[in-house]
């Protein structure tokens, strides 16, 4: 198996004005492509060739930093594009997911507040997360290419808070970017799909 850059599931213009064509051209076409190209070079001779992407991420964590950073970001970004959609972020969540957010996280408004706080307080580059751990939803943050996958949990929603994800559109206003992501971009149907897979 080798890594392959997935196509965006929408046009480069589709997420404007919340995420611009220019941001997606740099972030998907250049940054994500670099993780794929570098990951493929580092996969050779690593002993993890032929494994699934999740297995490469988990197998390289703490052992092969170069491969981990690129494979981890490839995993994160592959889902990140699908965690967004045009006209996303409406608050009508699928029933089971909404019920779990109410039960484990004190409701959608509180979940958004905690997710934003996680993203704002992640110093430097990294990700804010909604994940399933031991059957329950949690909000967390990680640095660089890490994800809940290497902390015993399954990510179901993540937002990239590295500056390349928002600086063109929001300059230094990371809280505004996180608010736009949650209120206008999140594809809750894809979050629900990952939630269902993680809790079955
Ligand atoms: Mn990124």
Domain assignment present for residue 88? The answer is no
Domain containing residue 131: 95-199
Residues 20/169, Cβ–Cβ less than 8 Å? yes
Q: How far is the CA of 159 from the centre of ligand 1 (A)?
A: 9
Residues 37 and 113 in one domain: no
Domain assignment present for residue 117? The answer is yes
Domain assignment present for residue 159? The answer is yes
| pTM beyond 0.95, yes or no | yes
Q: How far is the CA of 77 from the centre of ligand 1 (A)?
A: 7
Domain assignment present for residue 146? The answer is yes
Residues 109 and 67 in one domain: no
Residue of 37, 191, 35, 39 lying closest to 125 (CA atoms):
35
Domain assignment present for residue 89? The answer is no
Residues 58 and 133 in one domain: no
Residues 193 and 113 in one domain: yes
Residues 188 and 115 in one domain: yes
Domain assignment present for residue 151? The answer is yes
Residues 100 and 181 in one domain: yes
Residues 72 and 120 in one domain: no
Q: Supply the CATH number for residue 53's domain.
A: 1.10.287.990
Q: How far is the CA of 27 from the centre of ligand 1 (A)?
A: 6
Domain end position, chosen among 59, 82, 105: 82
Domain assignment present for residue 30? The answer is yes
Residues 157 and 68 in one domain: no
For the chain of 200 residues, list the mean pLDDT of each consecutive stretch of 10. 94 98 98 98 97 98 98 98 97 96 98 98 97 98 97 98 98 98 98 97
Q: How far is the CA of 35 from the centre of ligand 1 (A)?
A: 10
Residues 104/96, Cβ–Cβ less than 8 Å? no
| Beta-sheet pairing, 154-160 with 126-133 | antiparallel
Instruction: Report the domain count for the chain.
Output: 2
Residues 192 and 100 in one domain: yes
Residues 177/23, Cβ–Cβ less than 8 Å? no
Q: How far apart are CA 97 and CA 130, in angstroms?
A: 12
Q: How far is the CA of 99 from the centre of ligand 1 (A)?
A: 30
Residues 121 and 25 in one domain: no
pLDDT on residue 171: 97
Q: How far is the CA of 145 from the centre of ligand 1 (A)?
A: 9
pLDDT on residue 195: 98
Residues 72 and 99 in one domain: no
pLDDT on residue 103: 98
Q: Supply the CATH number for residue 119's domain.
A: 3.55.40.20
pLDDT on residue 1: 67
Residues 123 and 49 in one domain: no
């Amino acid at each position: 198996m080798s890594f392959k850059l997935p196509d965006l599931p929408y046009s480069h213009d589709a997420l404007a004005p919340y995420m611009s064509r220019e941001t997606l051209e740099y972030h998907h076409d250049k940054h994500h492509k670099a993780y794929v190209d570098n990951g493929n070079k580092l996969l050779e001779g690593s002993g993890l060739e032929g494994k699934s992407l999740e297995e490469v991420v988990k197998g390289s964590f703490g052992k092969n930093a170069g491969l981990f950073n690129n494979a981890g970001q490839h995993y994160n970004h592959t889902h990140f594009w699908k965690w967004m959609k045009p006209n996303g972020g409406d608050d009508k969540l699928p029933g089971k997911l909404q019920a779990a957010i109410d039960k484990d996280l004190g409701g959608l408004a509180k979940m958004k507040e905690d997710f934003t706080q996680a993203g704002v307080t992640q110093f430097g580059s990294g990700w804010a997360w909604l994940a399933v751990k031991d059957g329950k939803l949690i909000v967390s943050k990680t640095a660089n290419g890490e994800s809940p996958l290497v902390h015993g949990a399954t990510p179901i929603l993540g937002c990239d808070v590295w500056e390349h994800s928002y600086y063109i559109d929001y300059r230094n206003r990371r809280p505004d970017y996180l608010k736009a992501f949650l209120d206008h971009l999140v594809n809750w149907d894809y979050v629900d799909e990952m939630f269902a897979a993680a809790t079955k």
